[in-house]
Amino acid sequence: MKVTEIGERSFVERLCQRLTRRFGWDPRLKVGPGDDAAVVSVGDCLVVLTVDGQIEGVHFRRSWMPFYDLGWKAVAISISDLTSMGARPLCLLLSVALSGEETLEELDQLYDGAADACLRFSCLFVGGDTSKSGDGLWVVSTALGLVNGSFWTRSGGKDGDRLIVTGSLGEAAAGLLLLEKAVGTNNDPCVLRFRRPEPPADLLPLLRSFSLHAAIDISDGLVLDASRLAFSSGLEAVIDLPSVPLSKSLKEACRLLDHNPLPLALTGGEDYQLLMAVSASDADAVVTAITQFGGSATVIGSLRQGTPGAVIGRDQEGKPVRLSGGYQHF
Amino acid sequence: MKVTEIGERSFVERLCQRLTRRFGWDPRLKVGPGDDAAVVSVGDCLVVLTVDGQIEGVHFRRSWMPFYDLGWKAVAISISDLTSMGARPLCLLLSVALSGEETLEELDQLYDGAADACLRFSCLFVGGDTSKSGDGLWVVSTALGLVNGSFWTRSGGKDGDRLIVTGSLGEAAAGLLLLEKAVGTNNDPCVLRFRRPEPPADLLPLLRSFSLHAAIDISDGLVLDASRLAFSSGLEAVIDLPSVPLSKSLKEACRLLDHNPLPLALTGGEDYQLLMAVSASDADAVVTAITQFGGSATVIGSLRQGTPGAVIGRDQEGKPVRLSGGYQHF
């Protein structure tokens, strides 16, 4: 059977089980394959590790993606994974494969974008490697973060928890559509969101003062990532559709695109916002604290007993609708 | 100017300077870009980090490289970088990009090879990511290791130091030629060496009992890596050509290939052996200790004042010959 036949999610679940059987027994391994990042104990510290690739023709096209932004984004998506585990960034490595036809100026921009993102998120750029690529350009970033004491995983959600999302959703997906369809301008806020994601790492000190039960970053769309969190927690997720935060920028882009904003917010992906499961009694306080800090957050639903990993939408009239979709490579 | 015009070595040196200017001031960063691995302090620990890619059509062809061996090799080359810094392996992440046409069996073999190499080198396999590739298959491994107290870099070599190399050289390059020319058998020891490198990580506890001045792993050929070590140490390297260790397997493969073994040992690359600079008074003791441990090591030359990074060969009659060559991507 081919990977395309079994599909990405089943393939990854199967792989994680195989690897966990072989390495999961080690007491130094606190979180193994299958979450946003791994957690390993190093002396008195808990180190959080994550890796992500940006591949030409898969994640981006060179004509849409300035080199600076590619460097920025490669770093930012790894910072997003660290944030979702509750880890502050420590350092980062960048593995870059090139055709060799790139100019020094283009590669300076790539590394400047990566270095600026590292500085933005208080992360040291400590090394990497360069190589010839068979075809196209790709950038793989590995980030290492630290947690003090506790960390968050996808699996800690409890029955009755509220689901809170930071920021607003769907803008990056709208930005990608604007680029694909050559609609609007290069300065559209949605295009910027697609090219230079800003994971809510600044919220970490504040969020760590609450007892979050579970967290995941929204990289493949709210529905798919809510499903992952719910599945890992053995629960189902309910999403109150009218609550899903849609920005003015998204609505304007969707007018240009003649597209409904809600599906982009639900399944578009590349939001790099945080989805958290918090006890019902804490939810309002978390939202208020984030707002007072200058950020934004919304209670968009809850977790409950049911089919693990199912995601149920509730429309304006409260009618349930089973949700699916999201970005999967295979 | 394009990367292919400036060349890999100059490009990487330029890049390391730019990054060191921006991040080198941080006291947590002990070794930044430009060595085999980065060293960062984490609490009371020194963490060593390295990343390496294996790219189809660049580092391997699928017809030559069984999936199991690809997984093994991706891990082993990262372990080699850790070894050259004096670090014992702690954990590893694997980033894999696939066409999607691979079968589950093939990918099981890939991950089994990686997992077995991790177990072989006492390294935890803690995570990674999978993605669709634009074209072909590639595997990027990031390894994290630990050093107690001191570590080795390329830059500590001293005037008069002896250069010691572990194992024998050129076999992997001969194995690659056997595969390229479809000469010999798939079980040739040189083919095995190409597919399943065995970095001398087991020697670490023994080597750490000596005072090594500098070390580098031989990935791009003895001459190029000796040049890197010598350049970083501000010295030139002299290599006593009759001393370069050539195995029986290499000589036999070279008979089949009608090829001179010495150039393969000097510039073939992918040896994943260790090149060390040791004081003249310690050199014999280091070689003896490695031999008594069941390994092999040879004094092949020395460091001296001269043109930094120059590599001078000395032939049977002691006549000097300027050496160059080795694997560079651009």
Amino acid at A114: A
Instruction: Report the C-alpha gap between A262 and A260 in whole angstroms.
Output: 6
Close Cβ partners of A105 (under 8 Å, ≥ 6 residues apart): none
**CB A18 to CB B57 under 8 A?**
no
**pLDDT at residue B98 in the model:** 92
Instruction: Report the C-alpha gap between B268 and B274 in whole angstroms.
Output: 15
pLDDT in tens, A102-139: 999 999 999 999 999 999 999 999 999 999 987 789 99
Confidence band of A324 (pLDDT split at 50, 70, 90): confident
**pLDDT at residue A222 in the model:** 97
Question: Is residue A274 within 8 Å of A79, Cβ to Cβ?
Answer: no
**Closest to A135 (Cβ–Cβ): which among B18, B134, B142?**
B134
pLDDT in tens, A46-82: 999 999 999 998 888 888 899 999 999 999 999 999 9
Rounded to the nearest integer, the mean pLDDT of chain A is 94
**pLDDT at residue A7 in the model:** 86
**pLDDT at residue B186 in the model:** 81
**CB B115 to CB A22 under 8 A?**
yes
- The H or E element spanning position A130 is strand A124-132
CA angle B185, B135, A192 (to 5 degrees): 150
Question: Is residue B270 within 8 Å of B197, Cβ to Cβ?
Answer: yes
pLDDT in tens, A245-295: 999 999 999 999 999 999 999 999 999 999 999 999 999 999 999 999 999
Burial class (CB in 10 A: 0-12, 13-18, 19+), A180: exposed
Q: Residue B45: its chain A contacts at CB < 8 A?
A: 42-43, 45
**pLDDT at residue A158 in the model:** 98
Q: Which residue has the tokens 């590619």?
A: A70
**CB A125 to CB B14 under 8 A?**
no
Instruction: Report the C-alpha gap between A53 and A55 in whole angstroms.
Output: 6
Q: Which of A86, A4, A95, A8 is nearest to A47 (CA)?
A: A86
Question: Is residue A117 within 8 Å of A90, Cβ to Cβ?
Answer: no
Q: Which two tokens stand for residue A236?
A: 């189902």
Question: Is residue A170 within 8 Å of A307, Cβ to Cβ?
Answer: no
Question: Is residue B283 within 8 Å of B297, Cβ to Cβ?
Answer: no
Q: Is the pLDDT of residue A148 over 90?
A: no
- Looking at domain B37-147, its CATH architecture is 2-Layer Sandwich (3.30)
Q: Residue A136: its chain B contacts at CB < 8 A?
A: 134-135
**CB B53 to CB A111 under 8 A?**
no
**Closest to B127 (Cβ–Cβ): which among A49, A133, A144?**
A49
Whether residue B74 lies within 8 A of chain A, CB to CB, comes out as: no
**CB A22 to CB B125 under 8 A?**
yes
Q: Is the pLDDT of residue A327 over 80?
A: no
**CB A51 to CB B127 under 8 A?**
yes
Confidence band of A326 (pLDDT split at 50, 70, 90): confident
Sheet architecture: strand order including A212-218:
A212-218, A273-278, A162-166, A297-304, A236-240, A311-314, A320-322
**pLDDT at residue B149 in the model:** 81
**pLDDT at residue A277 in the model:** 98
Quick one: CA dihedral B216, B220, B226, B232, positive or negative? negative
- Smallest CA–CA distance from A114 into chain B, residue: B19
Whole-Å CA distances, A7 to A1, A36, A57, A162, B103: 10, 19, 20, 30, 12
CATH 3.30.1330.10 applies to domain A35-147: yes
**pLDDT at residue B144 in the model:** 97
Amino acid at A38: A
Q: Which of A62, A110, A137, A140 to mutate to test the interface with B (most CBs of B within 10 A)?
A: A140
Domains B37-147 and B162-322 share a fold: no
**CB B29 to CB A124 under 8 A?**
yes
Question: Is residue A234 within 8 Å of A303, Cβ to Cβ?
Answer: no
Domain range annotation of chain B: 1-34, 37-147, 162-322
**pLDDT at residue A126 in the model:** 96
Q: Residue B330: its chain A contacts at CB < 8 A?
A: 98, 100, 132
Q: Which two tokens stand for residue A256?
A: 């240009």
Residues of chain B with confidence (pLDDT) below 50: none
Whether residue A17 lies within 8 A of chain B, CB to CB, comes out as: no
**Closest to A1 (Cβ–Cβ): which among B103, B131, B142?**
B103
Q: Is the pLDDT of residue A17 over 80?
A: yes
Burial class (CB in 10 A: 0-12, 13-18, 19+), A100: middle
Nearest-10 Cα torsion for B198, B204, B210, B211: 90
**pLDDT at residue B185 in the model:** 83
Least confident of A16-20, A139-143, A162-166: A16-20
φ/ψ (deg, to 5) at A47: -100, 135
User: If one looks up domain B162-322 in CATH, what number appears?
Assistant: 3.90.650.10
Q: Which two tokens stand for residue B172?
A: 């992997």
Q: Which of A178, A204, A186 is nearest to A68 (CA)?
A: A186
**pLDDT at residue B327 in the model:** 74
- DSSP class of residue A65? S
Quote ipTM for the complex: 0.91
Confidence band of A328 (pLDDT split at 50, 70, 90): confident
**Closest to B51 (Cβ–Cβ): which among A14, A58, A128?**
A128
Taken as a whole, chain B contains a residue count of: 330
